[in-house]
Amino acid sequence: MSRKVLAFDLGASSGRAIVGMLEPGEDGGLPKLTVEEIHRFPNDPVQVGKHLYWDILRLLHEIKQGILKAGHLGHAVESLAIDSWAVDFGLIGRSGELLGNPYHYRDHHTDGVMEQFGERLGRERIFQATGIQFLPFNTIYQLAALKQSGSVLLEQADKLLMIPDLLRYFLTGEMRSEATNASTTQLLNPLTGEWDRGLLAALGIPERLLLPPTAPGTQVGRLSADVCSELGAPPIPVIAVGEHDTASAVVAVPADSPDFAYLSCGTWSLLGTELRQPVLTEQALAWNFTNEGGVDGTHRLLKNIMGLWLVQECKRAWDKAGRSLSFPQLVAAAEQAEPFHSLIDPDDDAFLNPVSMPEAIRDYCVRTGQPAPETEGLIIRCVLESLALKYRLVLERTETLSGKRFAGLHMVGGGIHNELLCRFTANAIGRPVWAGPAEGSALGNIVVQYMALGYIRDVQEARGIIRQSFPLKTYGPEEAAAWQSAYERFCRIIGE
């Protein structure tokens, strides 16, 4: 008999509802997992005046559509779970209502706040307390920005719920905080698993706002009576999985040994390894690595790299100008373009949320004494080569910090559909890339639901099931000399 669960994965490029189906293995072997995507919907932020917000109620509507569709398609799912990107949150008032629309992390209200706060408290102090990398949009700086602007909503707030916690609250009526996503606030201690009171006091944020974090893989309620009667659905359990999408993606890495490196490749590129202990050294701080909470008591030592956001934003600019090209068309144009024409640091602040991404890329090239790429093909090639070169830098630093050595790199996420990027990555790191699965976060979400329901023993078994259920594609390194000299040029340009 097939055991079914329903995963909602809210990415920046789309939201999706995916049904997992687990069949018993043959001759006592591992179970076989298949998936069916039943609903995909936009997850575009909405600009109102100068600010950028989540369209949170529309997402709740789409999640309900997903639950309805599962029923219509005859999928009797035993549970559901939601994962999404990190750091963003909603504020809840004393009578349990959502106060205002949650901000999107690319909103500019946090500009400059991290620098001020870091100076006031000391970056060492914040890193020692949390192990989290300094990103201007971390929850801690979003809260500091609200505090500075005298936000009435913050004053009125009784609880803070991260986005998947919030949507889960809407479905179950129960407020719980999930630990992997909580870690991305830069307010949680990675050793004790508790909120750092000193940081909260320095922010002027009352402790009552934050709920004690719950370990991923816990059932945290059921669909409420209201939701069940609205949808004609049974009161199935709702599970807190690794609700940070990257935590879920890392669970789905089909590695067969504990010493593996991963690249979760979507809107962001998250590159690192999985450890039993956080790395809180001066070097980790200097290189701005993070130690996010993982499933099963692990820590994700990794670094954020700006990722395919750069491609998405170029595409958006060209779509707006009436020169619409699909992702495969953009990749084909890049493949035809001149190699190593110009290189950028994908993580330059100028690329976080520029008015025009192609302009920002051209400006960077001019600023660094390089020819500005003009055609779509040249611009996308510049982005993909630069990403691959940055992956090498971060992979080697991950080895230094963790003391591990990696035979190759696992790539998961929608970015693996971009085969040129997979090839460039193998070339840049000079090692094989193993690509798959593409729906990493949704699969991680699914297997952790099975762990909570007792059908999968642990993460190791889950990875074995994913490995045998979903094919991997291997890319071998080529053109070693050209990529080595490009890497040296890249390091000079970005000042490393």
- Which residues are known to be catalytic? 245
Residues 6+ apart with CB under 8 A from 233: 67, 68, 71, 223, 227
**DSSP assigned state of 351:** G
| Shortest separation between residue 316's beta carbon and ligand LRH, angstroms | 17
Closest by CA position to 394, among listed 279, 483, 271, 486:
271
Q: Which of 32, 40, 417, 489 binds ligand ADP (CB under 6 A)?
A: 417
Report how far residue 5's alpha carbon sits from residue 272's, in angstroms, rounded to the nearest whole number. 29
- Whichever of 66 and 413 has its CB closer to ligand ADP, that residue is 413
- Whichever of 86 and 372 has its CB closer to ligand LRH, that residue is 86
Q: Decide if residue 291 touches ligand LRH (CB under 6 A).
A: no
Report how far residue 461's alpha carbon sits from residue 469's, in angstroms, rounded to the nearest whole number. 12
Report how far residue 292's alpha carbon sits from residue 184's, in angstroms, rounded to the nearest whole number. 6
Closest by CA position to 254, among listed 363, 408, 101:
408
Q: Decide if residue 414 touches ligand ADP (CB under 6 A).
A: yes
Q: Which two structure tokens, joined as six digits, stand for 433?
A: 């890339």
**DSSP assigned state of 6:** E
Q: Which of 10, 52, 82, 87 binds ligand LRH (CB under 6 A)?
A: 87
- Whichever of 113 and 357 has its CB closer to ligand ADP, that residue is 357
Please choose which of ligand ADP, ligand LRH, none residue 414 contacts, taking the beta carbon within 5 to 8 angstroms, the exact cut-off set by kind.
ligand ADP
| Shortest separation between residue 393's beta carbon and ligand LRH, angstroms | 18
Q: Decide if residue 382 touches ligand ADP (CB under 6 A).
A: no
Total number of residues binding ligand ADP (CB under 6 A)? 17
Q: Decide if residue 305 touches ligand ADP (CB under 6 A).
A: no
List residues bridging with 271 in a β-sheet.
Answer: 263, 303
Is residue 235 reached through a cis peptide bond, with omega within 30 degrees of 0 on the bond before it? no
- Whichever of 161 and 443 has its CB closer to ligand ADP, that residue is 443
Q: Which of 85, 117, 195, 434 binds ligand LRH (CB under 6 A)?
A: 85
Q: Decide if residue 327 touches ligand ADP (CB under 6 A).
A: yes
Q: Which of 8, 11, 86, 165 binds ligand ADP (CB under 6 A)?
A: 11
Report how far residue 263's alpha carbon sits from residue 247's, in angstroms, rounded to the nearest whole number. 12
SS3 call for 330: helix
- Whichever of 11 and 31 has its CB closer to ligand ADP, that residue is 11
Q: Which residue has the tokens 């001020």?
A: 116
- Whichever of 196 and 313 has its CB closer to ligand ADP, that residue is 313
> Which residues ranging from 253 to 272 are in contact with ligand LRH (CB under 6 A)?
267-268, 270
Q: Which two structure tokens, joined as six digits, stand for 15?
A: 């939201």
Phi, psi of 172 (to 5 degrees): -115, -20
Q: Are strands 409-412 and 299-305 parallel, antiparallel or unpaired?
A: unpaired
Please choose which of ligand LRH, ligand ADP, none residue 189 contacts, taking the beta carbon within 5 to 8 angstroms, the exact cut-off set by kind.
none
Instruction: Report yes or no: 361 and 382 within 8 Å, Cβ to Cβ.
Output: yes
Report how far residue 205's alpha carbon sits from residue 323's, in angstroms, rounded to the nearest whole number. 47
Q: Decide if residue 413 touches ligand ADP (CB under 6 A).
A: yes
Q: Which of 56, 86, 143, 447 binds ligand LRH (CB under 6 A)?
A: 86
Instruction: Report yes or no: 123 and 285 within 8 Å, Cβ to Cβ.
Output: yes
Report how far residue 22's alpha carbon sits from residue 223's, in angstroms, rounded to the nearest whole number. 22
Instruction: Report yes or no: 196 and 129 within 8 Å, Cβ to Cβ.
Output: yes
Query: Site mask, ligand LRH, residues 93-112, x = CB under 6 A?
Result: ------------x-------
Please choose which of ligand ADP, ligand LRH, none residue 417 contacts, taking the beta carbon within 5 to 8 angstroms, the exact cut-off set by kind.
ligand ADP
- Whichever of 176 and 244 has its CB closer to ligand LRH, that residue is 244
Query: Site mask, ligand LRH, residues 205-244, x = CB under 6 A?
Result: ---------------------------------------x
Strand order in the sheet with 98-99: 98-99, 89-92, 159-162
Q: Which of 9, 62, 107, 245 binds ligand LRH (CB under 6 A)?
A: 245
Give the binding site for ligand ADP (CB under 6 A). Answer: 11-14, 266-267, 308, 311-312, 327-328, 331, 413-415, 417-418
Give the binding site for ligand LRH (CB under 6 A). Answer: 85-87, 105, 244-246, 267-268, 270, 304
